[in-house]
């Protein structure tokens, strides 16, 4: 039996792509200057998980154990896409590339094609089809016989998981603005595919992919890393059901927390927003520009900020320094006085 902890492989092309993407991400974050550390950490964690999924003992044993394949599957279709979405590379690109680059990103993300392939009407059926067709058909057997199918499967998992979560989790820039209720229901519907596939695998009385057990011939006595064929398949179904649904439940809890937090912030700003011409939610590009200017940490509806901006504008019109500054005080301006208003 191979040593799990010593079973590491190299994928130079994938590593090179990951390195280029990570350098570009970090360079963009440095250029902006105030990019949240949590987003950068999410990106780096997703890269680490990719290495574990593609190069560690998990990757090697996934060729021999159905249940280990399911662990790899959940990493690629749920866990890694989650951290990629939370890293917000699209928002980073729109902010770091400047006005022209931001407009290009906006055009791409709001195009008809991208809006369609990131909409739940497409992503949920895609997610369900990927789960069903790669586990309940002869796909697993073909994957065990042809390595290129295995590689294609991993890409399919990563892409379908990312597209599903992109407009649902966090505050990434997309061409959609779904309510939290719609996001919640979408995740609940998607979770049904995990349950269905897991239960079917547990109840199936024949080997769906005989090559998994055949590849372990000569591994010795039965153990966790060398179970019987049906035990292996049943364990794979249990992982898909319980771990898959468990991950989805964690996402639902996270989404509910975001929902509650957004409702609380919305109530706190409702009065201020109504006083400022009923301002709507910032547009795609406006949100990116605010990120680039570092205004996410500033309450743009704050009355004091509005008053200061008003005074600064009037002072500039009259060739004076704003009230409250050193020049303004020397000119005899009272920093606590009411702002001058044109008659």
Report pLDDT for 33: 86
Residues 6+ away with beta carbon under 8 Å from 133: 139
CB 164 within 8 A of CB 190: yes
* 332, pLDDT greater than 50: no
Helix (H, G, I), strand (E, B), or coil: what is residue 173? coil
Distance CA 206, CA 210 (A): 9
Which class for 298: exposed (0-12), middle (13-18), buried (19 or more C-beta within 10 A)?
exposed
Report pLDDT for 327: 47
* 61, pLDDT greater than 50: yes
CB 193 within 8 A of CB 128: yes
* 313, pLDDT greater than 70: no
pLDDT, averaged across the chain: 84
CB 9 within 8 A of CB 55: yes
Distance CA 22, CA 90 (A): 13
End-to-end Cα distance, the chain? 88
Q: What is the pLDDT of residues 176-208, one digit of tens each?
A: 989 999 999 999 999 999 999 999 999 999 999
Report pLDDT for 127: 97
Closest CA to 289 of 111, 115, 103: 103
* Mean pLDDT, residues 42-64: 95
CB 47 within 8 A of CB 213: no
Distance CA 188, CA 194 (A): 10
Distance CA 191, CA 72 (A): 18
* 308, pLDDT greater than 50: yes
* Mean pLDDT, residues 146-164: 94
The DSSP H or E segment spanning 62 is none
Report pLDDT for 147: 86
How large a percentage of the chain has pLDDT more than 70? 77
* 320, pLDDT greater than 90: no
Q: What is the pLDDT of residues 1-35, one digit of tens each?
A: 778 788 899 999 999 999 999 999 999 999 998 89
Output the six-digit token pair for 147. Answer: 């390595």
CB 47 within 8 A of CB 198: no
Alpha helices by DSSP H, listed for 62-135, are 66-74, 80-87, 89-96, 98-109, 112-117, 120-135
* 55, pLDDT greater than 60: yes
Report pLDDT for 316: 60
Domains of the chain, residue spans = 12-270, 302-343
Q: What is the pLDDT of residues 92-139, one digit of tens each?
A: 999 999 889 999 999 999 999 999 999 999 999 999 999 999 999 889
């Amino acid at each position: 039996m191979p040593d799990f902890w010593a079973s590491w492989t190299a994928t130079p092309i994938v590593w090179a792509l990951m390195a280029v993407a990570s350098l570009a991400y970090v360079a963009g974050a440095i250029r902006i200057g105030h990019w949240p550390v949590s987003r950068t950490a999410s990106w780096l964690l997703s890269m680490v998980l990719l290495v574990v999924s593609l190069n560690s003992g998990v990757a090697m044993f996934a060729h021999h154990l159905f249940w280990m394949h399911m662990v790899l599957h959940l990493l690629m279709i749920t866990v890694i896409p989650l951290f990629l979405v939370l890293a917000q590379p699209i928002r980073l690109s729109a902010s770091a590339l400047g006005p022209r680059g931001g407009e290009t990103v906006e055009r791409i993300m709001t195009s008809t094609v991208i809006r369609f392939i990131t909409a739940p009407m497409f992503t949920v059926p895609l997610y369900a089809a990927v789960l069903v067709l790669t586990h309940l058909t002869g796909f697993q057997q073909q994957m065990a016989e042809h390595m290129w199918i295995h590689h294609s499967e991993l890409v399919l998992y990563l892409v379908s998981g990312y597209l599903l979560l992109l407009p649902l989790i966090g505050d990434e820039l997309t061409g959609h603005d779904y309510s939290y209720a719609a996001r919640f229901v979408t995740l609940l519907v998607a979770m049904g595919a995990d349950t269905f596939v897991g239960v079917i695998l547990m109840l199936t009385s024949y080997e769906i992919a005989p090559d998994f057990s055949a590849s372990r011939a000569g591994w010795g006595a039965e153990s966790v890393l060398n179970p019987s064929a049906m035990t292996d398949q049943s364990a794979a179904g249990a992982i898909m059901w319980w771990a898959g649904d468990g991950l989805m439940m964690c996402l639902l809890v996270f989404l509910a927390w975001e929902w509650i937090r957004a409702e609380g912030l919305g109530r706190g700003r409702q009065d201020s927003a109504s006083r400022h011409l009923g301002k709507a939610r910032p547009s795609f590009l406006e949100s990116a520009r605010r990120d680039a200017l570092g205004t996410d940490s500033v309450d743009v509806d704050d009355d004091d900020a509005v008053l200061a901006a008003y005074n600064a504008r009037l002072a500039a019109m009259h060739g004076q320094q704003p009230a409250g500054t050193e020049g303004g005080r020397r000119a005899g301006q009272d920093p606590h006085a009411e702002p001058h208003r044109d008659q």
